[in-house]
Chain A
Amino acid sequence: MLMVVKNQLKISWLSIKYALIREMLNKTTFLTNIIFMVLNNASFIVQWIILYSLKDNVGGYTFKQVLLLWGIASGTYGVAHFFFKKAFSLSDTINTGKLDSYLVQPKNVLISAITTDIDTSALGDMIYAYITLFIYGVTLPNFLLFTFFCIIGGIFLTSISIILSSLSFWFSKSDIIADTGNGLMTNFATYPDGIFKGIVKILLFTLIPVGIVNYIPVRVMVSFNLGSFLIVIMATIFIVILAFLVFYKGLKKYSSSNLMMAKI
């Protein structure tokens, strides 16, 4: 069992590595994508400088805590889109019959299908995440916690996308649901939960679990709480298992579209 996991991880790693080498062939484009993504994210600092000039505290967050929130949002997004880019277009892979080529491989279909490509600009997101951590104040425990939350959050975001995209096995237009769900997670992720009230706040910790990916990690980093830390881990394990179950349940309904394509 362990050997199977090890082999699968090795294959996925090689796949990501070669995708990165491919992207690096054009160095100018590669670097512009990364640098501009960092600048793109950094532009939002202006928004928060202005808001904090009006009020010392926005939704229970200080300026540095909002930066940390941004860092975790950016880091989780970066991890998800760099390592598992194809999870965010899985609906298309299913709808157009592109899963065929993964079905004949002696490896895990889902992991192979989502790790075949990378998003270069997501490297910019990850770099920006660490820039915000340095502004917030870096210590060894902070650094480790931050890295852990970015990885686990990235896996969480990927799992949500897999679950929503897997609906394509049953419904033809479900890519819209997946896009909307992914959009919801990103839009809410960079605003403090304190500005929301009532049912919306409950939704942010349940149906739209931005709270698990972003808000709880920030709280744990500001003031460590083992209970909250474990909630994030348990929720991630649950969502990952659910993603695998939904995908493989759906895969039984998959039918090929006789698509001919070359995989290099």
Chain B
Amino acid sequence: MRKYLFIYKSEIMSELQYVFNILIGFIGYVIILFIFLNLWKYIYNDPNELINGYNMNQMIWYVIITEILWSSLGGRKLCRKICDDVRGGNIAYNINKPYSYIGYSLFSHLGSATIRGILYIILGMILGFIFLGSFPNLNILSILAVLLSGILATIISTLLIIFIGLLAFIIEDSNPFYWLYSKAMLVLGTIFPIEYFPKVMQTILKYSPIYVVSYGPAKLFVEFSWPNFITIIFWQLIYILIAYGLCAILYKKGVKNLNVNGG
């Protein structure tokens, strides 16, 4: 475990050298939030009106949190890197290293996501306060609980993206799968809470990764409750095991059939 923590720490140090690039990414985040602020202001005739159990402020906070989780993840870059490692044969250099490729990818990516996450949380909270003038009713303990849920969500997202990247063992370019995954996450998990979907879909979504990587932490932030927290954390831990298992199986199978030419 120490070696992975070292990888994590090294990646944090490296990411700190590129803080300016993260700050540039803020522009996109601000634009998205601005569009949704306008959209929800248009949809809600009265800010206190409840639509599917959410008032306007809760809806905007929901989007702020899900966008923090998504923007700080940087999934496209991770998927492309893993896909390139498999396609280009770089993955072969990792086979004889004293660490697991999945563990290395997970911890190095979490390192960069940590810095981005901290910066996006600060920006998101400032923007939310400027746009809405208040924060949801949370105490220190519940804030820590939401943070824990957010961290677990990021771990699951990272593992799922590693899995998608490793699909390059089967199909040469797995990036299109990532486009679909990212859009499914955006449309079904980032823009709307699960309650906005038809009843049949709600049941499916509650068992899908969307519940644990996006909806869960955001729901806790806008409407915190301990029973909800326990349920979400439980499912997040289950999902970590499932996602890691899937990555390990795919990696093992893929490496067996790996054929690298040249050097």
Contact = CB atoms under 8 A, between A and B. Distances in A.
Interface residues of B, number: 29
B27 A180 contact: yes
Given A36-B180, A44-B187, A180-B27, A195 B38 contact: yes
A96 B126 CA distance: 38
A160 B87 CA distance: 34
A196 B38 CA distance: 6
Interface in B157-193: 171-173, 176-177, 179-180, 183-184, 186-188, 191-192
B136 interface: no
Interface of A is mostly: helix
Contacts of B184: 43
B167 to A, nearest CB: 11
A187 B180 contact: no
Given A32-B173, A36-B177, A183-B31, A55 B43 contact: yes
B51 interface: yes
B196 interface: yes
Contacts of A257: none
Contacts of B34: 200
Contact of B172 (A26, A59, A180, A200): A26
B39 interface: yes
Given A50-B196, A195-B38, A36 B176 contact: yes
Contacts of B183: 39-40, 43-44
Contacts, number: 79
B173 A33 contact: yes
Given A36-B177, A46-B188, A187 B31 contact: yes
B180 A43 contact: yes
B28 A33 contact: no
Interface string A39-82: 11001101100110011001100000000000000000000000
Interface string A182-202: 011001100100111100100
Interface of A: 26, 28-29, 32-33, 35-37, 39-40, 43-44, 46-47, 50-51, 54-55, 58-59, 121, 176, 179-180, 183-184, 187-188, 191, 194-197, 200
